Amino acid sequence: MVTTFLSVRTEKFPETCFNKAMAELAHSRVTIREVADEAGVSIATVSRVLNSRDDVAPETRELVSRIIQERGYIANRSARGLSVGRTGLVGVLVPLVYPAYFSSILSGATEALQEHDLRAVLSPTGHQHDREVTLLDRLMHGLTDGALIVLPEESSQELERLLDAGYHFVVIDPLMPLDDRIPSVSAAHTSGADQAMKHLLGLGHRRIAIITGPDGWVATEDRRRGYHAALAAAGILPDPELEVESNFEIDGGELAAGVLLDLAEPPTAIFAFNDNHAIGAIQAARARGIRVPEDLSIVGFDDVEHATIVTPTLTTVRQPLAEMGRTAVSLLTRLLERQSFETLHVELATRLVVRESSGPAPS
């Protein structure tokens, strides 16, 4: 027995020496084998201790634990991932990371992931949606256990293929209507628009403009629908002149608002697609000597920090962005654990936050 052991050890020595040399050279990390050797136990035993199994003798456990401590050993995630089939990583696909809209979602998501001992692997797409291969690639199939996809530019079809490939993911704020099997988290756009419009109508506004996002987007269409429904309910005929589309930036909002304010019969209120637009609208008004909210009321959407910094502060429809991130993580973890679901689709409530940028309609 002992002889065999020794002979094995002898045979392995050159290799071990080489490895050690490499370790010194490359500062490579401690492996489970080194711990096992130093403790004079097998790799399997160390593995048992690592995963806190109960079939290990107390003394053995303590010995191994001590050596693990001393040598500062930490399991190699790649190896464990390969062996177990899970990596503890979640891909997060997001068009950009900087804008407050995205970083809010990201913030909530990473926090929630942390609580599940998962980590986010960031993959900004920069709005470039090439081929579906790159989608899979970006998801890092084989490195991530699943993914969160924010504002996907992919079609429902492409996402369905992902689903069929057995990949687990949750879509946050879908751009397009998605197949029912695709898990998603979004905000109550229609209701948000309704709240904004009721607020403005309640203030006596009758000529209310809307700045929208791109045609076809769920957010655009839902909010437009809310806008029209509210107008209809108030017996107001919609005026196509009062609907303009814009990009997402402040300058886009300024431009769009400029067009509206320069109309022969300008609106007394603007319902903007996001807070950036609303801020742009404030600037457009200021440039024309139009006072907000005395001459013009403005309501934004999102309620990011900007809304409280601009003068006047913004009345806006709050989207619970961080909460959307959290919720998506909660869906995803249940997917990963193959739990059953009541529903794959969560719509979080939006809420009007009234501040200074809206007021009674001018008489």
Q: Are 264 and 270 in contact (CB under 8 A)?
A: no
Q: Which residues pair with 316 in a beta bridge?
A: 300, 353
Using CB under 8 A as the binding rule, whether residue 269 contacts its own copies is answered as: no
Using CB under 8 A as the binding rule, whether residue 186 contacts its own copies is answered as: no
Up-side HSE of residue 326: CA atoms within 13 Å toward CB?
Answer: 9
For residues 7 and 28, which CB has a smaller minimum distance to its own copies in the complex?
28
Q: CA 319, 323, 329, 332: dihedral to nearest 10 degrees?
A: -50
Using CB under 7 A as the binding rule, whether residue 19 contacts DNA is answered as: yes
Using CB under 7 A as the binding rule, whether residue 75 contacts DNA is answered as: yes
Tell which one of 40, 214, 216, 360 touches DNA (CB under 7 A). 40
Q: Are 109 and 330 in contact (CB under 8 A)?
A: no
- What is the rounded distance in angstroms from the CA atom of residue 218 to the CA atom of residue 338? 29
**Distance in Å, CB of 17 to DNA, minimum:** 12
| Token pair of 63 as six digits | 């010995």
- Which one-letter DSSP state was computed for residue 203? T
Nearest C-alpha neighbor of 212 from the set 257, 178, 172, 171:
257
Tell which one of 37, 38, 65, 80 touches DNA (CB under 7 A). 80
The DSSP element (H or E) to which 362 belongs, if any, is none
100 binds, among DNA, its own copies, none (CB under 5 to 8 A by kind): its own copies
Q: Tell me which residues touch its own copies (CB under 8 A).
A: 26-29, 72, 74-79, 81-82, 85, 87-89, 92, 96-98, 100, 103-104, 106-107, 110-111, 114, 119-124, 126, 136-138, 140-143, 164-167, 250, 279, 305-306, 309-311, 322
Residues that bind DNA (CB under 7 A): 5, 8, 15, 19, 28, 31-33, 40-45, 47-48, 50-51, 55-57, 59-61, 73, 75-76, 79-80, 82-85, 142
